[in-house]
A and B are shown apart, each in its own frame.
Chain A
Amino acid sequence: MAGPGGDMQWCFSQVKGAIDDDVAEADIISTVEFNHTGELLATGDKGGRVVIFQQEIENKNLPQFRSEYNVYSTFQSHEPEFDYLKSLEIEEKINKIRWLPQKNAAQFLLSTNDKTIKLWKISERDKRPEGYNLKEEDGRYKDPNTITSLRVPVLIPMDLMVEASPRRVFANAHTYHINSISVNSDDETYLSADDLRINLWHLEITDRSFNIVDIKPANMEELTEVITAAEFHPHQCNTFVYSSSKGTLRLCDMRASALCDKHSKLFEEPEDPSNRSFFSEIISSISDVKFSHNGRYMMTRDYLSVKIWDLNMENRPVETYQVHEYLRSKLCSLYENDCIFDKFECCWNGNDSVVMTGSYNNFFRMFDRGQRRDVTLEASRENSKPMQVLKPRKVCAGGKRKKDEISVDSLDFNKKILHTAWHPQDNIIAVATTNNLYIFQDKVN
């Protein structure tokens, strides 16, 4: 992360969300995603709402204020539903949001809950028609007898209004819970993945999808692994990857066959037998997989580490970064309080030189691949003065605790950062705590 003049420093820019310590469950942020230009930042929450922030354009010439984002649009994407056949409630929680590349004035995004994917069109309206012949301004119809002349209606400027409308609803294709969606580089198709299957959709067609991966065993009693994440390659429209709960990655080529149950490449690192414990299977389960922007690498996140894989090497990752190794001795307690099941995400920066992921106590970690350096930062209201530089944090794993260090036992495991996003072209990051969204930017000298 060494920029010109030394190490990069991160500054607080903004925090969005309620200050209240009493968190409403519906406000819990469940996904964060920048669009392809970084101008828009979308969040989804447990209440099924999507909030989109827009970068303030006027500040583009003022580098220290370029990370100011304001609310652009808010809409209710999904509602709670009830499956009467199975007597199951379907949560409205937004699991993933993915932006489509922009083709015209409108923006499009896909949002999904456990069962249904929706394509939303977000468009601006800043003009309105005026001067209708048959209607009054308020919409009432005129008495035709009073009309003596004709005029052409004109568009007059109005206050900007952002409208979100659902254009497509892709439903009834998943028996299990959807964990991932990914838009293909062909701009026509996308995939959706649940625990056991991956489906391929066309963005225009809602009444059918192709099943391309199915790992459901003939006898469910023989189930040993599930799909945890899936993503299309950023450039090769025939290639996608999916991760499993066993810690494996499978790269699939859709040209090979219609059903991609047989992988083209299997990425797996043998388990270290000295680390074997009751919880080995849980901590090896991959919670997120992301291709690098250049398409040469993949990054996976499991409970304790981040791994970088080269697409050309299947037997082990090229880099491994320990996120919070001090938790390895606490796995039993983390199992009891369910924290061991937390699904952390990870992300690349724009030029694939730095990766970022979250941790507990509202800490998040960045790993500079080139410099082989890492830093732990904290998203907290205490460090939220404008442009305040974030001080690196350190966790004391054992022994004598130094000043400014925090001991493992003092960590707050209710404050977790599961979702982070990095601006595709700039050093601006969005970090989601439980119900707040923090935006940081690098320090401008």
Chain B
Amino acid sequence: MIHTMECAADAQSLISISLMKIHNSRTQRGGIKLHKNLLVSYVLRNARQVYVKEKYAEIYRMQQYEEVMTVCNEIQELNPLDLDAEDAGDEEQARAACCGEEASLCGSACHRGAAQPAAHARTASALYGCSPLEDGGKEPDPSYYRSCCMEASPVPHCDQFPANGSTHCNITTVLDLDTHVVTTVENGYLHQDCCCCDALQCGQGAQSPAKKRKVEFGFCTSDGEEVSDFTSACKRAKREDCTYFHLDYTDTSNISNLISIFGSGFTGLLSRQADLEQICSKQVLASLGAWTRAIVAF
């Protein structure tokens, strides 16, 4: 029977379900069904593309938020009479968020003057602002895409903020399509979990962990809403003992391992970027590129 409430097409849960199916197919009677597993891998690929895109979008929004806060800081420094406790609290959170994401980049630089975060934010945004999804007609190099999404080094690298024991980060190599700078950064969501989740928690209020994340390919209207949405989703990932996260299925790097289990990698699917445009709205892609170029110019 179909559930009366249609299940949320959450990219993460689809990835988990798909990996579970591939795993179960190994013990099916009659051997592994090539056709079914191929179809499951397509769903996996589609879900992963959306998941990665959402990740980049979230990171990009964080960067935008920091940019805004940095500008606010600069303005407030010019006009100290406007500074109040609440803003200071937000500023701390913003710095924490900034530092959490750029831990590998700026280290203790976060605690330097206001000008520094702006510079770092710009660099970071130049890094994060690029995505494999912009520049519609261009197909990113498959190897770039693979290194973005499939590497997983569980190396906690949070110097300022103590990492949760269960946290690990993905190391990602990022190519800025505008400046052609290659940088290695950490951008695992669990990493952000440990660094910015707690910092941002205060003042957010109790967020329902069951809040469903819609499959939206555009940006939400409110950055704050998105941030809390993101953190509560992360908290759910960390805390809920859900079968979806058993065996760390949400770690997309395991895809390659699990695919290889049944003898074919289907990485040919992973390198096909043409479908990205079908999934993402063109407007979003265009706006991403526009923002990146604007910030770099700024």
CB of A278 within 8 Å of the partner chain: yes
- From B4, B14, B46, B267, A221 is in contact (CB under 8 Å) with B267
- Most chain A CB within 10 A, of B9, B21, B39, B268, is at B39
| Beta-carbon contact of A89 and B269 below 8 Å | no
CB of B7 within 8 Å of the partner chain: yes
| With contact pairs A221-B266, A341-B36 given, residues A408 and B2 touching in the complex (Cβ less than 8 Å) | yes
Beta-carbon contacts of B258-279 to A below 8 Å, as 1s and 0s? 0000011111110010000011
| With contact pairs A195-B34, A245-B38, A336-B17 given, residues A276 and B265 touching in the complex (Cβ less than 8 Å) | no
| With contact pairs A228-B35, A332-B9 given, residues A223 and B264 touching in the complex (Cβ less than 8 Å) | yes
| Chain A interface, number of residues (Cβ within 8 angstroms) | 46
Which residues of B from 1 to 58 have beta carbons under 8 Å from A?
Answer: 1-4, 6-9, 11, 14, 17, 21, 29-31, 33-36, 38-39, 42-43, 46-47, 50
| Beta-carbon contact of A278 and B9 below 8 Å | yes
Residues of B within 8 A of A330 (CB): 2, 6
| Beta-carbon contact of B39 and A220 below 8 Å | no
Residues of B within 8 A of A68 (CB): none
| With contact pairs A195-B34, A224-B269 given, residues A333 and B7 touching in the complex (Cβ less than 8 Å) | yes
Whole-angstrom CA separation of A176 from B279 in the bound complex: 32
CB of A413 within 8 Å of the partner chain: yes
Q: Which residue of B lies closest to A223 (CB)?
A: B264
Q: Which residue of A lies closest to B3 (CB)?
A: A333
| Beta-carbon contact of A334 and B265 below 8 Å | no
| With contact pairs A224-B269, A225-B38 given, residues A329 and B6 touching in the complex (Cβ less than 8 Å) | yes
Give B280 Cβ to nearest chain A Cβ, in Å. Answer: 10
- From A86, A220, A273, B31 is in contact (CB under 8 Å) with A86
| Beta-carbon contact of B30 and A281 below 8 Å | no
Give A399 Cβ to nearest chain B Cβ, in Å. Answer: 16
Residues of B within 8 A of A176 (CB): 34
| Beta-carbon contact of B43 and A278 below 8 Å | yes
Give B285 Cβ to nearest chain A Cβ, in Å. Answer: 14
Residues of B within 8 A of A277 (CB): 9
Residues of A within 8 A of B7 (CB): 332-333, 336
| Chain B interface, number of residues (Cβ within 8 angstroms) | 36
Residues of A within 8 A of B43 (CB): 278-279, 281-282, 335
Whole-angstrom CA separation of A292 from B102 in the bound complex: 64
- Most chain A CB within 10 A, of B42, B50, B268, is at B42
CB of A412 within 8 Å of the partner chain: yes
Whole-angstrom CA separation of A226 from B272 in the bound complex: 17
Give B123 Cβ to nearest chain A Cβ, in Å. Answer: 35
Whole-angstrom CA separation of A267 from B3 in the bound complex: 37
Whole-angstrom CA separation of A333 from B38 in the bound complex: 19
Q: Which residue of A lies closest to B42 (CB)?
A: A281
Beta-carbon contacts of B274-291 to A below 8 Å, as 1s and 0s? 000011000000000000
Q: Which residue of A lies closest to B31 (CB)?
A: A88
Residues of A within 8 A of B1 (CB): 409, 412-413
Residues of B within 8 A of A411 (CB): 2
Residues of A within 8 A of B21 (CB): 338
Whole-angstrom CA separation of A32 from B34 in the bound complex: 24
Whole-angstrom CA separation of A426 from B8 in the bound complex: 47
| Beta-carbon contact of A276 and B2 below 8 Å | no
CB of A116 within 8 Å of the partner chain: no
Q: Which residue of B lies closest to A176 (CB)?
A: B34
Give B57 Cβ to nearest chain A Cβ, in Å. Answer: 17
| Beta-carbon contact of A177 and B9 below 8 Å | no
Whole-angstrom CA separation of A30 from B7 in the bound complex: 31
Residues of B within 8 A of A89 (CB): 29-31
Residues of A within 8 A of B50 (CB): 278
Going nearest first, the 3 A-B pairs with the smallest beta carbon separation are A221-B265, A222-B268, A220-B264
Q: Can you name 22 A-B residue pairings with CB atoms under 8 Å?
A: A114-B31, A177-B31, A195-B34, A219-B268, A221-B265, A221-B267, A222-B267, A223-B266, A228-B35, A245-B39, A273-B278, A278-B14, A279-B43, A280-B46, A330-B2, A332-B7, A336-B7, A336-B17, A338-B21, A341-B36, A409-B1, A409-B4
